[in-house]
Structure 1
Amino acid sequence: MHRYDGRPCTTVPEQAGDRRERIEIRAGVGILGDRYAGRLAHRDASVTLIAAESLDALALDLGVAPFAPLLTRRNVVLRGADVESLRRTTFALDCGEGVVVLRGGRPANPCAWMDVALAPGAHRGLRGRGGIRCAPETGGVLRLGPAVLTLLDTPGKAG
C-alpha cells in the first residue's frame, strides 16, 4: 500500500499512515485493503517482497544513510533471506499466526519514484535487486517481526 501515483515530483507523499503491524492476505485476491486487491491484472503479483540487505547495499553504493523500507513501496521486507532467488518458487512465511504460502513470480522492478523517495540513482541502483512480485496460494496473516521462511519447491518448478 502506497501513495506514489503518476509521475515523480520533487516531494515524497506522506507514508507513515501506510505502515501496518499486520496484513491479511487472501489466496487469489492479495492483501485486504490494498487498492489492487482482487484485480485480475494483479492476482499473480499482488504481494511484493524485498530484501532489507538490498536496501542496505544500495545506500552504501550511493553513499547515503540507510533507507526506510516503507519508502520502497514493497508490502513485505525480509532480512536474512535471498528474496531474488524466490522467483519461480513456492515458499511459506510463518509469523506465528499461521502459514502463508506464496508463489514467487516476476521481478518487482523499481520505478522512477525511487530517485525521489530514496536518493538520486536509486531507480537504476535497484534494478535486479528491487524484489519480487508474488501470488498468494493460501490466505493468512503476516505481521511485523520475526518470520520463518520455508522453501516448498525448487526454482523453476512452481506453477
Structure 2
Amino acid sequence: MRQIEVQVAHLFVSPLHRYEGRPSDGPVPLPAGGAEGGVAEIALRAHLGVVGDRYFGREAHRSASVTVMAMESLEAVERELQVGHALDPFATRRTVFLRGADVDALARTRFSLDTGAGEVVFQGNRPANPCAWMNVALAEGAHRALRGRGGVRCEPLADGNLTLGPAVLRVYDEP
C-alpha cells in the first residue's frame, strides 16, 4: 500500500446532464434560478455514487459514477493552450479534483480517500477520456490536450463523505 498526502481542491455534484447532443448546440441550459458549482462536501454510497448527482444509482453508470481528476492536469492544459486565464474545473463535469497525485495512474486500482471522516474506498476503473465537449466548455484544443490526463472513472465501494482540504490517498493495488 502506498500513502500520499493530497488536497481535495474541488468537489462537484450536478443533478443535470448538461452536455447532451452535439457540442455545437451548446450545453443544456440550467433551470431558472439554477446554478452549478462546487460544494464543500459530498456524500457517497457504496455501488451507487454521489448522493444528488445525475449518475447516482443508475445501473449503466455504477462503475463510473465518480470521476477523479488531477488539478495539475487542468493547469497543464491551461499552459499548453495559453488561454491566459484559469480553466473552470467544473466545466469538465468531474466529481473530485485532487492536487498532489498522479490520478490517471489510479485506473484499474483500488484506492481510498480520507478527508478526516474515515476512508472512502474506490475501485478505479477506466480512464475518463475527454470528449469534444471540452473544446466548447473549456477552450479550443482542450479535447486533444486532455487525452491521457482526463482522470479516472470510479465506483465507490464504501459509504462515506469527502470534504475539501487535506486528505490521505491510499493506493492498495497497482495495475
Task: Name which of 121, 127, 132 aligns with 1:101.
Answer: 121
Specify the code of the residue in structure 1 equivalent to 2:53: D
Q: Offset of 1:10 from its aligned partner?
A: 6.6
2:79 maps to 1:60: yes
Q: How does 1:10-159 map to 2 (within 5 A)?
A: 16-64=35-83, 65-155=85-175
Q: Which residue of 2 aligns with 1:8?
A: 23
Specify the code of the residue in structure 1 equivalent to 2:94: R
Specify the code of the residue in structure 2 equivalent to 1:44: S
Specify the code of the residue in structure 2 equivalent to 1:8: P
Question: How much identity, in percent, do the aligned residues show?
Answer: 57
Specify the code of the residue in structure 1 equivalent to 2:79: L
Instruction: Give me the TM-score of the superposition, normalised by structure 2.
Output: 0.82
For the 8 Å contact 1:10–1:116, the answer to whether it is kept is no
Specify the code of the residue in structure 1 equivalent to 2:162: L
Q: Is 5-14 or 35-44 further displaced after alignment?
A: 5-14
For the 8 Å contact 2:19–2:26, the answer to whether it is kept is no
Q: Offset of 1:143 from its aligned partner?
A: 1.2
Q: CA RMSD in A?
A: 1.7
Specify the code of the residue in structure 1 equivalent to 2:20: D
Q: Whole-Å Cα distance in 1 between the matches of residues 42 and 166 of structure 2? A: 14
Q: Offset of 1:11 from its aligned partner?
A: 5.4
Q: Whole-Å Cα distance in 1 between the matches of residues 132 and 143 of structure 2? A: 5
Q: Is 74-83 or 18-27 further displaced after alignment?
A: 18-27
Q: Whole-Å Cα distance in 1 between the matches of residues 36 and 140 of structure 2? A: 24
Q: Whole-Å Cα distance in 1 between the matches of residues 75 and 40 of structure 2? A: 22
SS at match of 2:161: strand
SS at match of 1:146: strand
Specify the code of the residue in structure 2 equivalent to 1:80: G
SS at match of 2:123: strand
SS at match of 2:111: strand
Q: Which residue of 1 aligns with 2:6?
A: none
Specify the code of the residue in structure 1 equivalent to 2:22: R
Q: Whole-Å Cα distance in 1 between the matches of residues 117 and 107 of structure 2? A: 24
Q: Offset of 1:5 from its aligned partner?
A: 2.6
Q: Whole-Å Cα distance in 1 between the matches of residues 112 and 93 of structure 2? A: 21
Q: Whole-Å Cα distance in 1 between the matches of residues 73 and 25 of structure 2? A: 24
> What count of residue pairs does the alignment treat as equivalent?
155
Post-superposition, which runs of at least 4 consecutive aligned residues in structure 1 deviate over 6 A? Answer: none
